[in-house]
Amino acid sequence: MKNIDELCTRKQFLIGSGAAAVGLFCGRGLLQAQPGTSPSVLAPSTTPESADYVPDFPEHHPQFDRARVKRFVIAGHGNLAAVEAMLAEEPNLINGAIDWGKGDFETALGGASHMGRRDIAEFLLEHNARMDIFAATMLGKLGRGSSSHTCDFIANACERSCMMLEPSP
């Protein structure tokens, strides 16, 4: 068990949400709420259902130039040398995503996964790319008869999330 006494970052929230989805998919109680936390109390006039309730989220870093992210994602489809060079120059590109239109988002890991480029996918994962179901499938971590292994694999990948993971007995 892991106790984190600070607020979750967006990345931690997304990882924890992915782990929750995997918990539902695998039929195991992988996630528990953090002990010692209480639900936030909203002012009576600003409930989540009211039109006035729109939370403010601080900007953490400026966005990357779209062309730069696009070039990185395209390189992820098949050019390991370019991926290595771009990541060495700007490590924060690792989880950069491009919207190809109509909500079709893709990362370099996603490109490597659907092109079957295990070498690029493993390199990106070694540099903290977010594991997704497509990469896990391409790498042989998902498959028939492997649900227990799959849950353990994804739970281990999510160990840095702000959620606590606890495998069922």
User: Domain limits of the chain?
Assistant: 62-147
pLDDT tens track for 125-154: 999 999 999 999 999 988 655 555 555 555
Please tell me the predicted confidence (pLDDT) of residue 142: 80
Please tell me the predicted confidence (pLDDT) of residue 124: 98
SS3 label, residue 142? coil
Does this model's pTM top 0.85? My answer is no
What is d(CA 133, CA 111) in angstroms, rounded to the nearest whole number? 13
- Alpha helices by DSSP H, listed for the chain, are 10-26, 66-76, 80-89, 108-114, 118-126, 133-138, 147-157
Percentage of the chain modeled with pLDDT above 70 = 56
Residues of the chain with pLDDT under 50: 1-5, 28-42, 160-168
What is d(CA 66, CA 99) in angstroms, rounded to the nearest whole number? 9
Side-chain-facing half-sphere of 129: CA atoms under 13 Å: 31
Please tell me the predicted confidence (pLDDT) of residue 61: 74
For the record, the structure tokens of 47 come out as 């409930």
Please tell me the predicted confidence (pLDDT) of residue 59: 78
